[in-house]
Amino acid sequence: MRSTLLLLTTATMIGGYAYFIESSRPSRSETENAKDRVFVSESSALVELEVLASGTRTVLRKIDSTWTIVAPVQVNADEVEVSGITTGVASLEIERVLEDAADDLEPFGLADPRIEIAFKAEGDDEVTRLYLGNHTATGGDIYAMRSDDPRVFLVAAYLESSFDRTTFDLRDKAILNFERDDVDRLQLTTPTHTVALARADGAWRVEVPWEARGASGTVDTIVTRLDTARMQALIETDDSDIDTHGLAKPRISAIVSAGSASSTLLVGMEADDGSSYARDASRSLIFTVEASLVDALARPPEDYRQKELFTFSPTSVTRLEIERPAVWLVLSKDEKNPSVWRQLEPSPAEVDQSAVSDLLATLTGFRADRFVASTENTGLDEPIATVTVFSGERQERVVFGRDGDVVYALTEADAGAAAIKATGFENALAIAATLGILDENMPVPQPG
């Protein structure tokens, strides 16, 4: 009995000791997650890079916190692409060490690495190199090694896309260089038209081929496209090739101006892949741009006109006048209670507040379906209605005419006339009729 108890006690002590030892060791998952970094340098400390990938060699230097390609050409670098490499280098981890010192690097693809990244951090005397070879059989990792370390180890394969960058990938591929927020003029020329626009007080106006309010959203989108568009491919060429790419007599030109500075994009003939050859007029470089950009630059002038007849916000309106032949309706917000509308003409009266809101909402929905250059045959010589909206110190006045089934509108700020949907116009008159404009024989009061 004593021997049995002794054995049990001894077993318990040994088991407790084993548990203590094992519990003090990191778990298998903890061991697997505790990966060594390949390099100790931080991405922000890197000042030189050399990238050998996809048959190209690119040398970059950080100058005044900005990366620049210094070989094989000297040009600004794409900061996003370079950041992918520097961040990848700094965060690279060893998944597993395979060989402490491999006798033969060929099986790993490291005798002649597919990708080589050399870098120098600030204060370093020597360059450090990373070699990337073949993928593992599963494809999840890549064989790798350092120039100053004989070990062969595995790194995650998903990082390859950040490192496998050509000179073209790493260069700044902006097609034009200008300050987006400073742009105040835009001129677009195609074989069929020229449209010129100017911005003042935050709003765009069309100056050519006619004077009209500009569709600011549309114009801003074009300017943004020109600012953010990137080269699709770079064409190895010289000045003699400008004509062969259709750039001696470009089919489209886009001039972006900011004060006295301007940038010009010239678009030539279409390439085989559907893109188009183009160049910045200040550089001899020829590149291609995507077809959607070319299509956007070729839009007709009418697309740059503001389609909305009124620009007021219903909540900001303080007075509304609707004049028809021999009829005048005037609505104004109460001076003592600005949230309440009252009728002033044809006679002071209370009005349906929701009807006024509906009328203002209907007016803001008036949009041009198309434009005509002349007011002839529009009925505007004998207007059927004139609507004037007051919003603070601003005043918007639109005259309406009718020719058959088509309603035309004339604003003070736009050349020509706009054709609008007759149903919307008739709906506005119907709402106005409920507010006191039923009697068309009522004389129009004379101001003063």
Mean pLDDT of 252-277: 98
Spatial strand order of the sheet with 349-350 comes to 349-350, 341-345, 327-333, 319-324, 385-391, 394-403, 406-411, 417-420, 370-372
Give the global pTM. 0.82
Tokens linked to 233: 């491919």
> What tens digit of pLDDT does each residue of 316-367 get?
999 999 999 988 999 999 988 999 999 999 999 999 999 999 999 999 999 9
238 pLDDT band, cuts 50/70/90, is low
Q: Which amino acid is at 448?
A: G
The strand order across the sheet containing 276-280 reads: 212-213, 203-208, 194-200, 185-189, 252-258, 261-270, 276-280, 286-289, 233-235
Give me the pLDDT at residue 13, please. Answer: 42
Structural contact between residues 268 and 278, judged by C-beta atoms closer than 8 angstroms: yes
**Is pLDDT of 8 > 50?**
no
Distance separating alpha carbons of residues 224 and 414, to the nearest angstrom = 25
Provide, rounded to the nearest whole percent, the portion of the chain with pLDDT above 90. 84
pLDDT band at 34 (very low <50, low <70, confident <90, very high): low
Which H/E stretch holds residue 334? none
Q: For residues 394 and 20, which has the higher predicted lDDT (pLDDT)? A: 394
Domain ranges of the chain: 44-170, 180-304, 314-433
List Cα–Cα distances, 132 to 106, 129, 157, in angstroms.
Answer: 12, 10, 10
54 close to 164: Cβ distance less than 8 angstroms? yes
Tens of pLDDT, residue by residue over 226-236, are 999 999 999 97
Distance, CA of 421 to CA of 428 (rounded, Å): 11
Residue 386 phi, psi (nearest 5): -130, 125
The answer to whether residue 179 scores a pLDDT higher than 90 is yes
pLDDT digits 0-9 by tens, 61-116: 999 999 999 999 999 999 999 999 999 999 999 999 999 999 999 999 999 999 99
